A and B are shown apart, each in its own frame.
Chain A
């Protein structure tokens, strides 16, 4: 998948249209095999209705579904519930929160639920886990199935007791009469029967005000396995007879192979060299020997001169890749509005490429059995990786199975299946299962990056603080959250796709981080130019009550009205919205008078994304988002030139650490009257501008480039 396709996917998700995946969505076991796999019990399936087409793309929106399993929910004879979803767990805690939603609607204890996730042979097709879509789309889908299952169980009990089903009560995995005289567990009701119910309609959900399991801080599912080392991550998978692979990498991006000599490696005992077209790799019994063999391969590469960090932003501005997005008919009116404004302000902001740096790098184990390829790998898109494998090896869907064990996260960085393809290639050649785990340097170099970008803003306001004009151009970094939430009469907002010198793609928060950094920094500049309090200026130009609520909540908790900045201590604020979440962030920074080093002392963040499904999981996401955002705000950046990444190691690429951790306070607003939105991403976007604004408040120095303090946290001279 090309970077642009990745961005397209992200955009399509943001704008809520269906995906462009070409998969036919056929599940790989036929119905009889699937029921045999499950044993008897109640299987709740989905009838192909257009109402479900949105999330599941062509798989369920198309008309050819009858042979599909498409099963989402199974209740076995012991009352155990299996839930099937193509979404994957990467630390965002959906294994837990989705199970809570199902338990709530099905009226079963949380512990009775097992989530089957990301196994392409067992779960319905899914586009992937990104764009904060799981909570707003997958959770309702599964709740739908759970309500249907519950209704069927109640009907079964009513038939058995020859009574009116509307009088019966389902609770705690049982159906009972109101007086409790008769009661059967779900297991007793389904025992020995292979039942299939198809769901057609949209049954009413339990309102959040009545939730008993959803809405509570249920601890992480299988949490104990993570503190004992028992949980098997993708890189931990072991198969009988498994060998270890390593892959020869070019000397730089866009390199061509000039010469290759593998003879020394081939002489090593128990090492196999695999050379097919552009691909060269080795397989050995031991990973250390595989690495050693790889080092013995003599390869000469020709690497063309390429754009690096020097002059990057001008390069992006001058290298358009397609037409700008966003209306430009308003340009004349806008120019007039800016010219007529009492206060006019123009500035440019930049963000560098950064790496996802998931602590678990790309990893895969592949094996071939009777022409069927099975791959365990860490990916946010198991079905996308299946598609890549199908294309690479010219296989039909039923000959490729991808399994995704809960992985060492991704942050948008694991949409693609490089390691899966490499492991499959090597396994095919070796005739044995093969594991490939990328080194940190490989992950830094051969994965993809968060796009760098240039943002240019012109804005105008009346002296009373009314924003009247807003012109915003984003070059390359992306259109997510590019719009302004502030009321402004005249505006022009455009995203300009550019030819990126580096491979770029999805990222947690993606362009919303850059667009918020630029917008919220500029709003702060405007407030100062108007000699207004930055919060008052925002409030004056906001009408969205949800955004105003988080801004109020964050500033109240922070003590904004008494936070008076001084040269060594600054206070800043930012707010915004994306993907259905509303965030406001206040930051306190300290500046060391001697070293000029910036340290974030305290962050208060208020968050609202509708009804809270798991307050502890949500709080964890917000805390983590703030910490992760510190890296991109202050010091993370990819250094590159002439086709090479120059800092592809943790010793050269600074990550947020314990000593960077401020006091973090989270205020969660629970809107039980609103549907739950996803919360994995947007918690990041307020941190960088809040910190930049705090630095300005302390020092008068406006930092318009992320990262703001790449040189050892020091204020730039």
Chain B
């Protein structure tokens, strides 16, 4: 067990956890940020996606200790003063979910994609999203949500 300092959603946290414990486990089980999900534990499904300094990162596959010093954003950190981001709103407007278990990871991956590329083409979308699995099969709707959100982003910023 060791102490580490994490910056999550703009807040500093001191966490006492084994150094090898995954960032996912620390977020969920030490910080009670359960919006980030476990799906496979091997970075294959994207349910655990968070942003580290803006980049989409599979939190199941890195030790929390390796995230010390980075700005970590989880799904809980997107909404500001009751306002959804364009990406969150687009998922809601398109009804781009069924059970919703993959939704956090999907939204984080899309958020990272649209930060880097406001109007991604199809190849860029597939490249960024193919690591995220929706077992309910809502991909067509998520693609619509990405189009909708990227339109917003192009039209005046992500927020």
Q: Which residues of A contact B89 (CB under 8 A)?
A: 227
Q: Cα distance A231–B89 when bound, in Å? A: 16
Which A residues from 81 to 125 make CB contacts under 8 A with B? 90-93
Since A286-B17, A286-B25 are in contact, a sample of 20 more A-B pairs with Cβ atoms closer than 8 Å, ordered by chain A residue number, is A219-B95, A220-B97, A226-B100, A227-B84, A227-B89, A227-B91, A227-B103, A227-B107, A228-B76, A228-B88, A229-B33, A229-B74, A238-B34, A358-B101, A408-B37, A409-B136, A628-B136, A650-B39, A650-B40, A650-B44
Q: Cα distance A506–B25 when bound, in Å? A: 31
Q: Which residues of B contact A236 (CB under 8 A)?
A: 28, 34
Asked if A313 is at the interface of the complex by the 8 Å CB criterion, the answer is no
Asked if A616 is at the interface of the complex by the 8 Å CB criterion, the answer is yes
Q: Which of A230, A289, A623 contacts B140 (CB 8 A)?
A: A623
Q: Is the CB of B38 within 8 A of A625?
A: no
Which A residues from 45 to 98 make CB contacts under 8 A with B? 90-93
Q: Is the CB of B99 within 8 A of A408?
A: yes
Write the chain A residue with the least CB distance to B128.
A658
Q: Which residues of A contact B126 (CB under 8 A)?
A: 658-659
Sample of 5 A–B contacts (CB below 8 Å): A91-B99, A223-B92, A406-B99, A627-B140, A655-B135
Q: Is the CB of B140 within 8 A of A661?
A: yes
A234 to chain B, nearest CB (A): 10
Asked if A664 is at the interface of the complex by the 8 Å CB criterion, the answer is yes
Q: Is the CB of A409 within 8 A of B42?
A: no
Write the chain B residue with the least CB distance to A656.
B137
Q: Is the CB of A229 within 8 A of B99?
A: no
Q: Cα distance A358–B17 when bound, in Å? A: 29
Contact with A along B93-132 (1 / 0, CB 8 A): 0010111111110010000000000000000011001101
Asked if B20 is at the interface of the complex by the 8 Å CB criterion, the answer is yes
Q: Cα distance A235–B125 when bound, in Å? A: 30
Q: Is the CB of A220 within 8 A of B40?
A: no
A213 to chain B, nearest CB (A): 17
Contact of A224 with B35 at beta-carbon distance under 8 Å, contacts A288-B17, A440-B40 already known: no
Q: Is the CB of A227 within 8 A of B92?
A: yes
Q: Cα distance A395–B45 when bound, in Å? A: 39
Q: Is the CB of B84 within 8 A of A620?
A: no
Q: Which residues of B contact A623 (CB under 8 A)?
A: 137-138, 140-141
Which A residues from 201 to 232 make CB contacts under 8 A with B? 219-220, 223-224, 226-232
Q: Which residues of B contact A224 (CB under 8 A)?
A: 84, 92
Q: Is the CB of B99 within 8 A of A628?
A: no
Contact with B along A228-263 (1 / 0, CB 8 A): 111111011010000010000000000000000000
Q: Which residues of B contact A616 (CB under 8 A)?
A: 95
Q: Which residues of A contact B91 (CB under 8 A)?
A: 227
Q: Which residues of A contact B17 (CB under 8 A)?
A: 286, 288
Contact with A along B127-156 (1 / 0, CB 8 A): 001101111111111110000000000000
A405 to chain B, nearest CB (A): 11
Asked if A357 is at the interface of the complex by the 8 Å CB criterion, the answer is yes
Q: Which residues of A contact B54 (CB under 8 A)?
A: none
B-side binding surface: helix, strand, loop or mixed?
A: loop
Size of A's binding interface in residues, CB under 8 A: 58
Write the chain B residue with the least CB distance to A629.
B137
Q: Which residues of A contact B59 (CB under 8 A)?
A: none
Q: Which of B29, B40, B84, B138 contacts A287 (CB 8 A)?
A: B29
Q: Which residues of B contact A655 (CB under 8 A)?
A: 45, 133, 135
Q: Cα distance A220–B140 when bound, in Å? A: 17
Q: Is the CB of A288 within 8 A of B25?
A: yes
Give the number of residue pairs across the A-B interface with Cβ within 8 Å.
Answer: 173
Q: Which residues of A contact B134 (CB under 8 A)?
A: 359, 627
Asked if A624 is at the interface of the complex by the 8 Å CB criterion, the answer is yes
Q: Cα distance A233–B143 when bound, in Å? A: 24
Asked if B18 is at the interface of the complex by the 8 Å CB criterion, the answer is yes
Write the chain A residue with the least CB distance to B77.
A229
Of the listed residues B28, B30, B136, the one surrounded by the most CB atoms of chain A closer than 10 A to its CB is: B136
Q: Which residues of A contact B42 (CB under 8 A)?
A: 440, 649-651
Asked if A36 is at the interface of the complex by the 8 Å CB criterion, the answer is no
Write the chain A residue with the least CB distance to B26.
A288
Q: Is the CB of B88 within 8 A of A620?
A: no
Q: Cα distance A439–B41 when bound, in Å? A: 8
Asked if A626 is at the interface of the complex by the 8 Å CB criterion, the answer is yes
Q: Which residues of A contact B57 (CB under 8 A)?
A: none
Q: Is the CB of A411 within 8 A of B135?
A: yes
Write the chain B residue with the least CB distance to A236.
B34
Q: Cα distance A657–B133 when bound, in Å? A: 6
A447 to chain B, nearest CB (A): 14
Q: Cα distance A361–B60 when bound, in Å? A: 15
Q: Is the CB of B137 within 8 A of A626?
A: yes
Asked if B8 is at the interface of the complex by the 8 Å CB criterion, the answer is no
B62 to chain A, nearest CB (A): 14
Q: Which residues of B contact A359 (CB under 8 A)?
A: 37, 39, 45, 47, 99, 101-102, 133-135
Q: Cα distance A90–B18 when bound, in Å? A: 34
Q: Is the CB of A289 within 8 A of B18?
A: yes
Asked if A407 is at the interface of the complex by the 8 Å CB criterion, the answer is yes
Q: Cα distance A656–B28 when bound, in Å? A: 27
Which A residues from 635 to 657 make CB contacts under 8 A with B? 649-651, 655-657
Q: Which residues of A contact B81 (CB under 8 A)?
A: none
Contact of A91 with B100 at beta-carbon distance under 8 Å, contacts A236-B34, A359-B37 already known: yes
Contact with A along B57-97 (1 / 0, CB 8 A): 00000000000000000111011000010001101100101
Which A residues from 609 to 629 make CB contacts under 8 A with B? 616-617, 620-621, 623-628
B132 to chain A, nearest CB (A): 7
Contact with B along A588-630 (1 / 0, CB 8 A): 0000000000000000000000000000110011011111100
Q: Which residues of B contact A230 (CB under 8 A)?
A: 35, 76
Q: Is the CB of A659 within 8 A of B130?
A: yes
Q: Is the CB of A650 within 8 A of B45?
A: yes
Q: Which residues of B contact A626 (CB under 8 A)?
A: 137
Contact of A91 with B35 at beta-carbon distance under 8 Å, contacts A227-B92, A439-B41, A649-B44 already known: no
A654 to chain B, nearest CB (A): 10
Q: Which residues of B contact A664 (CB under 8 A)?
A: 140
Asked if A487 is at the interface of the complex by the 8 Å CB criterion, the answer is no
CB-based closest 5 A-B pairs: A229-B35, A627-B137, A91-B99, A408-B101, A229-B75
B110 to chain A, nearest CB (A): 11
Which A residues from 356 to 378 make CB contacts under 8 A with B? 357-361
Q: Cα distance A287–B20 when bound, in Å? A: 12
Q: Cα distance A93–B29 when bound, in Å? A: 29
Write the chain A residue with the least CB distance to B30.
A286
Asked if A157 is at the interface of the complex by the 8 Å CB criterion, the answer is no
B97 to chain A, nearest CB (A): 6
Q: Cα distance A236–B35 when bound, in Å? A: 8
Q: Which residues of A contact B78 (CB under 8 A)?
A: 228
Which A residues from 8 to 24 make CB contacts under 8 A with B? none
